[in-house]
Amino acid sequence: MLFYFLHEFFSEHLVSNLFRYISFRALLAAVFSFLFVVLLMPRLIRLLSKLSVRQVVRNDGPKTHLKKSGTPTMGGVLMVMGILLSTLLLCRLENTYVLISIFSLLGFGAVGFLDDYLKLTKKNPKGVSFRAKMITMGLLSIAAAFWMLESTSVESKLVIPFVKNFSLELGAFFYIWAFFVVNGAANAVNLTDGLDGLAIVPIMTTALVLLVTSYISGHSGFASYLYFDYLPGTGELSIILASVAGVGLGFLWYNAHPAEVFMGDVGSLSLGGLLGTIALLTHKELVLFIAGFLFVMEAISVILQVGSYKSTKKRIFRMAPLHHHFELGGWPESKVIVRFWILSILFALIALSTLKIR
């Protein structure tokens, strides 16, 4: 929106010329998103408190979490708004990659909003049934996959990092792959969001890795040099990912231990779904897997725990997801959080190594 306004009325002005550069708009998106959340979150917290939009804590979790009951939640609404506004202001809106990303952000955000709403109105931490949630998010994933195959340069293939000019053709299985990638990302982020500030830092580190790869994929020179698939237009996605980092920093200001507000499912599902979608759009699903391996660990811990208990009636972990296992093992919450942050940074660095090892 702002991009078109400046181009139309100030086409020869220095500011307008700056807006031609994706890097400048990405930096602006990060700053705008950060300020948007930091400045408006206190008002949202007061509004959520007034409306009694407060967290319902599980009774079977660590007892130290019971004191968090009553903390305002659904702060992710402001994060979604920040990303959406910065996208509308700073991205080229005729870009199909951008439109598909907005579709996923809002679609998964709507599922999360409904889930939060049901939890709060019914005072039940389960919210929307697992089956209904998976079906709805599955349909969103498949719709996004169909849109990208029909309207962009995305192909139905899986690109293998660390290997030059090698990919696997998926054909119709691409839709199943999209289901697992996008749904998996959304649910894994949701499972990780269990401690103050735990999920938002790995969200930011993963977003920054995808920002770099998206920019490279959309730049013919860099893509050729690094043996990336050149996908014209994907550079605009780096602006959206910069805004994810911006809203993440702003949210962390209030979500750091002890948290003043939680993002809720509206935040975790929308951000996870967005990261999964952008990974598909840029053929960087396996890079997402590496950069977001902390999310993978959390999701696998739940799968293993449930599978073990159903088959043997024995638990592998003290409690799943994984962060609760360490809490119940005696680690203070702040130590679990910071150590998981350190791991997320290490995974991001490993993912960035795929840029050159080909």
How large is the average pLDDT for residues 138-156? 95
Residue 200 has pLDDT above 70, yes or no: yes
162 phi, psi to nearest 5 deg: 75, -10
Residue 5 belongs to some domain of the structure = no
Partners of residue 306 on adjacent β-strands: none
pLDDT in tens, 343-354: 999 999 999 988
- Estimate to the nearest angstrom the gap between the alpha carbon of 338 and the chain centroid: 19
Q: What is the pTM of this model?
A: 0.93
What is the rounded CA–CA span in Å between residue 340 and residue 6? 43
What is the rounded CA–CA span in Å between residue 165 and residue 56? 49
In the chain, the number of structural domains is 1
Amino acid letter for position 176: I
Residue 6 has pLDDT above 60, yes or no: no
How large is the average pLDDT for residues 320-344? 94
Residue 40 belongs to some domain of the structure = yes
Residue 13 has pLDDT above 60, yes or no: no
pLDDT, greater one: 2 or 271: 271
For residue 54, the model assigns a pLDDT of 74
Residue 235 has pLDDT above 90, yes or no: yes
- Dig out the tokens for 283 from the structure: 């053929």
Residue 104 belongs to some domain of the structure = yes
Amino acid letter for position 215: Y
For residue 129, the model assigns a pLDDT of 86
pLDDT in tens, 110-139: 999 999 988 887 766 677 888 999 999 999
Q: Residue 78 — pLDDT band, cuts 50, 70, 90?
A: very high
Residue 16 belongs to some domain of the structure = no
304 phi, psi to nearest 5 deg: -65, -40
Q: Sort 12 into a burial class: Cβ within 10 Å, 0-12 / 13-18 / 19+.
A: exposed
Residue 4 belongs to some domain of the structure = no
Which range of residues forms the domain containing residue 289? 22-54+67-355
Residue 260 belongs to some domain of the structure = yes
pLDDT in tens, 160-189: 887 777 789 999 999 999 999 999 999 999
Amino acid letter for position 175: Y
What is the rounded CA–CA span in Å between residue 83 and residue 306? 35
Say if residues 261 and 255 touch (Cβ distance below 8 Å): yes
Amino acid letter for position 294: L
For residue 356, the model assigns a pLDDT of 76
Residue 177 belongs to some domain of the structure = yes
**Interacting residues of 287 by C-beta distance below 8 A, sequence separation 6+:** 161, 209, 210, 213, 279, 351, 354
Residue 202 belongs to some domain of the structure = yes
| Pairing mode of beta strands 157-159, 167-169 | antiparallel
157 phi, psi to nearest 5 deg: -140, 165
For residue 95, the model assigns a pLDDT of 96
Q: Which residue has the tokens 């930096």?
A: 27
Q: Which residue has the tokens 């920040």?
A: 82
Q: Residue 313 — pLDDT band, cuts 50, 70, 90?
A: confident
Q: Which residue has the tokens 């507000």?
A: 261
Least confident of 121-125, 153-157, 171-175, 271-275: 121-125
